[in-house]
Structure 1
Amino acid sequence: MSMEGLRPALAPTAGEWIAERLRGFGSTVACNVPTGFAAYARVLHPVDLFAPPADFANDPTADPAEHSAMLTWTQVCERTGRTPHALMQWRSITTPAPGVQLPLSSEGRWDEVTVQEGTLEPPALSSLLDVLAPFTGEQECHHALWEGYGWLTGASSFLVFAHADSEGGPPPPPPQPAQVPPQLQQALTAPRLSLPGRDYLLFAGPLRAALAMGHQVTDDWFDPQSPNLLWPADRSWCLTSEIDFDSTLIGGSVELIEAVLAARGLEAWAVQEEDDLSLFADTLNT
């Protein structure tokens, strides 16, 4: 169930150290991950490739999942003729180089690939937690969730499509929304962790409870959301998935960052505090 293993922090004091080590609100690494760590890494969010067959639109029984695959950003660059590097930007690498022929969106970008912003999908998050576990041990961790997600206050909605059975009977009743977990209800009434440009709900729990964060839409439908901020009690590392970024940043020891860069299941690059990750900062792929 959603939020399992997490409990609300009734005061934001555990995260107040972060604001003191951020360089304001902006697009550089130091504006999103606390300064002062020995090393930093950028974990790129996995790419979903959707390449339907030519007759897909005419086949109502086709399953889109059967025609999708996961790519790395480097593989996207190989297809678009762009250059992979630590500060590459999604908009830049999905705009094909001159002479490269690919299906394009109205904005001129390869339209068969997508990447999620603001959340690290569960397989990649699980791989990252595996790397962090030896550096964390059994100590408690702090998990922060941006306060602006619509599902937190019931502002989001979903559609259910139903059809009559083969004998012409009525459609089955739509699934009922799941109850809001009590720890989420409590967090919504607690003081927020306030950082430059963003306010967060704060929770405490074990490291791998990060995989339980998200929206329990119905009893059988869980929509995961990785923590927007995650750090252990000893503050030896800190992870950030900024809501507008298509990558997750982490600061920590040299040994920890080397482990992140070498991990299977992750596409990660070393970055520096002053590096800019804004939309048009990719000067190698202009």
Structure 2
Amino acid sequence: METADLRLARDDDVAAASWIKPRLDGSFGAVTRHVPVGYAAYVRICHPVDDETGRQVTWSAVAAATGRRAHPTMQWRALAGAARWAGSDPWCGELAPPELARLCGILAQHTAVPGSCFFCLWDGWGWLPRTVPAQVHHGDRDYVLLTGPLHAALQLGDRPRPDWFLPQSPNLFWPADRAWCVATEIDFDSTLVGGTAELAHHLLNDPGLDAWPVDPDDSLAADADRLNPLD
């Protein structure tokens, strides 16, 4: 992989990411263990799933089909139920390209510098060559730091040959003015956004995103669903 393939520049000035680690706080699974504290509002975007016919559906639709309750901190294992859901599971660690594109389109309207953003990509993805060492270290994760325009988030991924592209959403990204921050933890089946109340309102009312309001201390751990029991 060459950085030119990504249309992004590798950024060796880790100071651009130094503001994040001191603002990560909370117990295991907490929202602000993955996106920085201090934002006015936080939103969870559930990664899409397909039903047994291949039609994309929301987690609310899954809850209706399995007799469970949809709510902001619902967890997939409890929602789907043992042998209750015949469709696909959500992707972990990655927001699908259509939803990522929609998210970026909204994010661009809520920063003064959409052309100047930073992207952290987990260094454990198998397609990353070992010649691209990590520069940013947050908790148990190491990341490669890249910089470029916001729309370049859609150009991250593996290019095993010129006519074949396997997209990968960034695991952490933010604009230079820090107006918002987005995190897709590799073990989570949802993406977290911290930003203004206006941004949250925009996300929560977009019909193309399965978005839910969450609080900084809300847990997204696998066993955190208090309304739907695990089978």
TM-score by length of 1: 0.75
Does residue 151 in structure 1 map to residue 127 in structure 2? yes
- Please name the residue that 2:76 is paired with: 90
SS at match of 1:30: helix
Contact 1:193 1:200 in 2 (8 A): yes
Change (3 A) 1:241 1:113: same
Query: Does residue 1:112 correspond to 2:87, yes or no?
Result: yes
* 1:265 equivalent in alignment to 2:208: yes
2:60 is equivalent to residue 74 of structure 1: yes
User: Over aligned residue pairs, what C-alpha RMSD do you find?
Assistant: 1.8
Partner of 1:129: 104
Q: What's the offset of the Cα at 1:153?
A: 2.7
Letter in 1 for 2:225: D
Residues 89 and 117 (structure 1 numbering): CA distance in 2 closer, same or farther, change over 3 Å? same
SS at match of 1:285: coil
Structure 1 position 211, deviation (Å): 0.2
SS of match in other structure, 2:152:
helix
Identity of aligned residues (%): 44
In 2, distance between residues paired with 1:34 and 1:109?
A: 36
CA contact (8 A) 2:35 2:182 kept: yes
**Rg: which structure is higher?**
1
2:107/2:199 contact within 8 Å kept: yes
Encode CA deviations 1:26-45: one digit per residue, 9 max, x unaligned. Answer: 31101011001011000110
For 1:11 and 1:112, how far apart are their aligned partners in 2?
44
Q: 2:228 aligned with 1:281, yes or no?
A: no
- Distance in 1 between residues matched to 2:64 and 2:34, nearest whole Å: 29
The answer as to whether partners of 1:140 and 1:232 remain within 8 angstroms in 2 is: yes
State which of 22, 25, 39 in structure 1 corresponds to 2:24. 22
Higher deviation after alignment, 21-30 or 201-210: 21-30
Decide whether the 8 Å contact of 1:24 with 1:196 is kept in 2. Answer: no
Aligned residue-pair number: 226
Conserved in 1, the CA contact under 8 Å of 2:62 and 2:85? no
Corresponding residue number in structure 2 for 1:238: 181
User: 1:153 is matched by which residue type in structure 2?
Assistant: P
Counterpart Cα distance in 2 of 1:197 and 1:151? 20
| Aligned equivalent of 1:208, options 147, 151, 154 | 151
Q: Output the CA distance in 1 between the equivalents of 2:99 and 2:16.
A: 26
Contact between 1:151 and 1:215, CA under 8 Å: does it hold in 2? Answer: yes
- Point out where structure 1 has 5 or more consecutive residues left out of the alignment: 52-67, 96-106, 155-184
> Aligned-pair distance for 1:192?
1.2
Unaligned runs of 5+ in 2: none
